[in-house]
């Protein structure tokens, strides 16, 4: 890999280390609520090693190497520098890499799925390793993978057969997409859910499904019975054996289950208690049916002061798009900001009918969810989102509902001296003033109405349909009756596969862009009086929102890999396509302005006066197609359409524009989180914050003891 190409994989220097502020919100909780939050926080962090193992084989030993150096030095990095005989710059580069590594829970970026490597030489790490026998042991266990760049395909997460990195298929370099899909189809047919599994192809060509659980034998009431081995009689896997192997991450799952039981004992109500008991069963026995029950109790736990969710949730990083990464969070409700989201929930039933499709493609009844603004105490995983809409199970979402949360202290966290490239000087002051407000509106609409809207046309069981099959709905795309729908056992994720994540994020973003043009919505968040006024404060927020989305689409090119010509991040892929939608809207609505061929003066030009006309119409047209393809289970049509919209021309976008994006790239924030400590004698919980520095980040993890 040449030096120019290598630059894009170097660790941020310096990384943008930001502290998650939580103290005043945590202090307002009762002692019981603090204990409840403490146990959920512990359970979440006890899954950190699971996340590391889900990213790369070297991630866990790198984690241990960093912590071993902290332990041996007592956190005195200058003394360690002297002992190792390294320079100030070399120590700084090590600390910067360590902070970015811990902020991503592994050595691949949580946003982009690309590997990052230290800016110092291998000799710096080798010198640090020699200062401690434990550090040396863990450094040796990385087997050179910290710095290796000799196989470019391994610099990105993806399918093994394409040469990419993944640990969702451990020890299976020759497993194919076809085999992965065939096992997935078998699991779907048997009713075995995939989120807490990994898949192994054995030397004899059979398959093992590893199930995350504290137990290491098949439980008596397993999700598909007591059998552990299945001989496949027909299809692509005919003659092969599929075995269920319980006990993946068994040590971590046992610790998680124990902490979750502590949360159950300190719950505020019966729904919380039942939820955590169901979690404990799921993490103990590996039952995702029990996990789904936990999600049902979670939906019913309305208006808690401490909000949480935990488990194998998001499936973005599995190349097949079905296996979940571990995450868990504990957060305190911000009652003041929650009021605005509550008003948005009340308005949702009148907003959703404004979307560009008729009632045939919408749920019969909008199931009003909880929508809360949260201040995060703990978020364990590879990264922290700005908002969440879960559970991801369609059968629960369609009939029982869901919850939305906006993560307030994540949204508001700012790095000092943050630069904002590609925004014109004339727009910069307005953009800085209103981008946070615009983003809060965007997150609210995205999570609530975006992920919360839409009906899937289904044959719910053989011969039973949730629509009139004899007089099927008319597709607004073709003008003809629909001919496709979800068959029994099929889900949105199983049909759209690895495309599902980016596709759904795009659909939700477009819903938000479309509905943010409704001025009564902007009033809910404190902008304007609800009347149409593009020249007032509400118009400023709307303009900032569209400008922000266009800019996000531009900088998303960092996440496109020119070698494989693939996207590494679902949200980035979605936002790039929305920028294309803006550029194709016509009437000079959106343009890229630059004078020189080198694009160093590249800026986004967006006509504020045309947002409600050309802009909104383009958004509506794009959104309608995505929605109808999803609603009617037309995976072939939907994937082709979305693939075209997210296609990157390798010369102009993939080379000229992307090079300038990389030249002006800003480091992504990594968050230093507090730790909680329980005094068992008094039952009191105390909170400890850490400095927003690489050293503070390392100390927080060292004292977490996971």
Strand segments (E) across 401-526: 403-407, 459-461, 464-465
Contacts of 251 (CB under 8 A, 6+ apart): none
CA distances from 451 to 264, 324, 404, 501, 562 (A): 29, 18, 9, 11, 30
CB contact at 8 A, 204 and 332: no
Q: Are strands 403-407 and 371-380 parallel, antiparallel or unpaired?
A: parallel
CA proximity to 390, closest of 372, 374, 402 = 402
Cα–Cα distance, 303 to 268 (Å, whole number) = 11
Handedness of CA 603, 609, 614, 617 (dihedral sign): positive
Main-chain phi, psi angles of 587, to 5 degrees:
60, 30
Q: What region does 632 belong to: left with phi over 0, alpha with psi -120 to 50, or beta?
A: alpha
Cα–Cα distance, 390 to 383 (Å, whole number) = 17
Handedness of CA 321, 322, 328, 331 (dihedral sign): positive
The pair of three-digit structure tokens given for residue 467, joined into one six-digit string: 């629509």
Strand partners, 297: none
CB contact at 8 A, 44 and 310: yes
The pair of three-digit structure tokens given for residue 282, joined into one six-digit string: 């799921």
Contacts of 293 (CB under 8 A, 6+ apart): 274, 278
3-state SS assignment for residue 160: helix
The H-assigned helical ranges of 142-226 are 177-190
Half-sphere exposure of residue 387: CA atoms within 13 angstroms, side-chain side: 26
Per DSSP, the residues of 547-589 read HHHHHHHHHGGGGEETTTTEES-HHHHHHHHHHHHHHTT-TT-
CA 40 to chain centre: 20
CA distances from 570 to 314, 504, 576 (A): 11, 9, 10
Three-class secondary structure assignment of 688-699: ECCCCCHHHHHH
Active site residues: 447
Cα–Cα distance, 65 to 145 (Å, whole number) = 13
Strand segments (E) across 106-231: 197-201, 207-212, 229-231
CB contact at 8 A, 667 and 69: no
* Helices 425-445 & 335-351 angle (0-180, nearest 10): 80
Contacts of 257 (CB under 8 A, 6+ apart): 214, 279, 280, 283, 284
Handedness of CA 46, 47, 48, 49 (dihedral sign): positive
CA proximity to 706, closest of 101, 46, 254, 251 = 46
Q: Which residue is listed with tokens 């090079």?
A: 659
CA distances from 674 to 18, 29, 73, 149, 264 (A): 12, 16, 22, 34, 22
Sheet arrangement for strand 207-212: 197-201, 207-212, 241-248, 229-231
């Amino acid at each position: 890999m040449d030096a120019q190409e290598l630059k894009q994989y170097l660790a941020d220097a310096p990384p943008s280390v930001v502290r998650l502020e939580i103290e005043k919100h945590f202090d307002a909780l009762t002692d019981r609520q603090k204990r409840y939050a403490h146990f959920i926080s512990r359970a979440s962090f006890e899954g950190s090693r699971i996340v590391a193992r889900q990213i790369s084989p070297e991630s866990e030993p790198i984690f241990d190497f960093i912590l071993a150096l902290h332990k041996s030095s007592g956190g005195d990095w200058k003394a360690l520098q002297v002992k190792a005989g390294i320079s100030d710059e070399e120590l700084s580069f090590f600390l910067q890499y360590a902070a970015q590594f811990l902020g991503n829970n592994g050595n691949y970026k949580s946003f982009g799925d690309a590997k990052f490597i230290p800016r110092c030489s291998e000799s710096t790490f080798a010198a640090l390793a020699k200062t401690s026998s434990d550090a040396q042991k863990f450094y040796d266990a990385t087997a050179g993978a910290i710095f290796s760049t000799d196989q470019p395909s391994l610099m990105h997460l993806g399918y093994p057969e394409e040469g990419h990195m993944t640990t969702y298929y451990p020890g299976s370099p020759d497993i194919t997409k076809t085999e992965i899909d065939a096992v997935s189809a078998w699991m779907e047919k048997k009713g075995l859910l995939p989120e807490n599994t990994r898949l192994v192809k054995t030397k004899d060509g059979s398959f093992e499904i590893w199930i995350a659980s504290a137990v290491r034998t098949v439980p008596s009431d397993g999700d598909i019975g007591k059998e552990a081995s299945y001989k496949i009689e027909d299809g692509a896997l005919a003659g092969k054996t599929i075995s269920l192997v319980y006990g993946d991450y068994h040590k971590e799952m046992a610790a998680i289950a124990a902490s979750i039981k502590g949360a159950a004992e300190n719950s505020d109500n019966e729904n919380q208690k039942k939820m955590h008991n169901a979690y404990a069963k799921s993490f103990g026995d590996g039952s995702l049916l029990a996990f789904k029950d936990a999600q049902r109790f979670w939906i019913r736990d309305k208006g808690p002061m401490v909000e949480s969710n935990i488990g194998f949730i998001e499936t973005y990083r599995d190349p097949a798009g079905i296996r979940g990464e571990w995450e868990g969070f504990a957060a305190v409700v911000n009652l003041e900001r929650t009021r605005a989201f509550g008003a948005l929930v009340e308005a949702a039933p009148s907003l959703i009918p404004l979307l560009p499709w008729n009632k045939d493609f919408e749920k019969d009844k909008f199931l009003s969810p909880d929508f809360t603004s949260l201040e995060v105490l703990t978020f364990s995983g590879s990264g922290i989102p700005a908002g969440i809409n879960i559970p991801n199970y369609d059968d629960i979402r369609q009939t029982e509902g869901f919850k939305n949360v906006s993560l307030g202290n994540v949204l508001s966290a700012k790095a000092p001296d943050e630069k904002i490239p590609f925004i014109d000087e004339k727009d910069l002051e307005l953009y800085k003033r209103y981008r946070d407000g615009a983003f809060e509106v965007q997150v609210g609409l995205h999570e609530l109405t975006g992920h919360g809207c839409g009906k899937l046309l289904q044959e719910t069981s053989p011969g039973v349909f949730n629509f009139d099959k004899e007089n099927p709905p008319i597709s607004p795309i073709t003008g003809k009756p629909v001919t496709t729908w979800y068959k029994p056992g099929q889900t949105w994720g199983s049909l759209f596969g690895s495309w599902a994540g980016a596709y759904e994020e795009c659909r939700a973003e477009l819903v938000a862009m479309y509905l943010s043009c409704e001025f009564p919505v902007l009033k809910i968040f404190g902008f304007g009086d609800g009347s149409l006024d593009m020249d007032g404060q509400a118009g400023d927020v709307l303009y900032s929102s569209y400008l922000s989305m266009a800019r996000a689409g531009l900088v998303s090119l960092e996440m496109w890999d020119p070698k494989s010509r693939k996207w590494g991040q679902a949200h980035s892929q979605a936002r790039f396509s929305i920028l294309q939608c803006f550029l194709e809207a016509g009437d000079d609505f959106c343009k890229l302005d630059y004078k020189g061929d080198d694009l160093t003066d590249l800026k986004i030009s967006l006509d504020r006066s045309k947002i409600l006309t050309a802009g909104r119409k383009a958004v509506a047209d794009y959104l309608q197609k995505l929605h109808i393809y999803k609603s009617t289970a037309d995976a072939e049509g939907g994937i082709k359409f979305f693939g075209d919209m997210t296609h990157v021309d390798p010369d102009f976008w993939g080379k000229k524009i992307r090079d300038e994006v990389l030249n002006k790239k800003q480091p992504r924030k990594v968050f230093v989180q507090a730790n909680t400590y329980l005094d068992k004698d008094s039952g009191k919980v105390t909170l400890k914050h850490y400095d927003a520095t690489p050293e503070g980040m390392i100390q927080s993890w060292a004292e977490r003891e996971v």
